[in-house]
Amino acid sequence: MLLSSTIFFVMRIICALLILKLNLSFKQPAKRIFKDLGKLIIKPHIFMFLVIFFLCGSIWGFLESYLFWFLEDLGSTKLTMGVSLAIGTIAGIPLTIASGAIIRKLGNTNVIVLALFLYSFRLLGYSFINFPLESLFFEIFKPFGNSLLMIGAMTYAKNNADITTMASLEGVMGALYFGIGKALGSLVGGLAIEAVGVRNAFRCFSIASLVAASVYLLFTLMWERRRRESSDVEKSNNDKSEEQVEERSDIKMI
């Protein structure tokens, strides 16, 4: 225990020293941080994205708080818990490597929807297991809700914010996911377990994940359709303006 704590402390010090050497001169300082961030957040697609990301953090917080406790009640050993973590980590390596291609193929929002659907599948599966080893199968899908979700969310923020508001938006995301979301997921999960039992609590969170995925999928489809229609209207207006300019030029020449 002392050795692992010492290694962790040393690595944190090394990371802190390396961060001090980062060159951030490429980022222009924001003059109106809160005003610019507020204008960004009230956009419908950004606001909906933050709500869904918050829900992802709540689901993650519930799993982080109660999954191993549930497995321990089923008679899991520390070795089985360690193996489950190893499976999730190893499965995440190829997924992280291929994340760029996956996001280009599916899109950022579809990756988030996929993560929520797989969260629902995992939570429902955990609610039916009777032996700790059965949980190892569902751990294979863990990186979709952790590594791939985080990469997809960060690239979404990068694509929808400028250089002055990107860091602020990522800060809000971190607060919603790792802070408020995780805390609320743990709190609501504890209340649900006390009220309906641990298995039904997993099923309740599974239903919540499924509903969130369905709502966000429907929202993104409607938003993309609206954006395409707006783009077509704008393009049509530009074409008409160009035609009018050409007609005026022809009249002047005559």
Distance between CA 134 and CA 132 in Å, rounded?
A: 5
Alpha helices in 21-140 (DSSP H): 33-41, 44-73, 78-97, 99-106, 108-126, 135-139
Q: What is the pLDDT of residue 251?
A: 58
Average pLDDT along the chain: 86
Q: What is the pLDDT of residue 238?
A: 60
Counting beta carbons within 10 angstroms of the beta carbon of residue 180, is it exposed (0 to 12), middle (13 to 18) or buried (19 or more)?
middle
96-150: pLDDT as tens digits: 888 889 999 988 999 999 999 999 999 999 999 999 999 999 999 998 888 899 9
49-82: pLDDT as tens digits: 999 999 999 999 999 999 999 999 999 888 888 8
Name which of 33-37, 51-55, 169-173 the model is least confident about. 33-37
Q: Are 118 and 197 contacting, i.e. CB atoms less than 8 angstroms apart? A: no
pLDDT at 171 over 80: yes
Q: Which amino acid is at 69?
A: W
- The CA-based angle 110-111-116, given to 5 degrees, is 95
pLDDT at 5 over 80: no
Kindly state the tokens that stand for 49.
């994205």
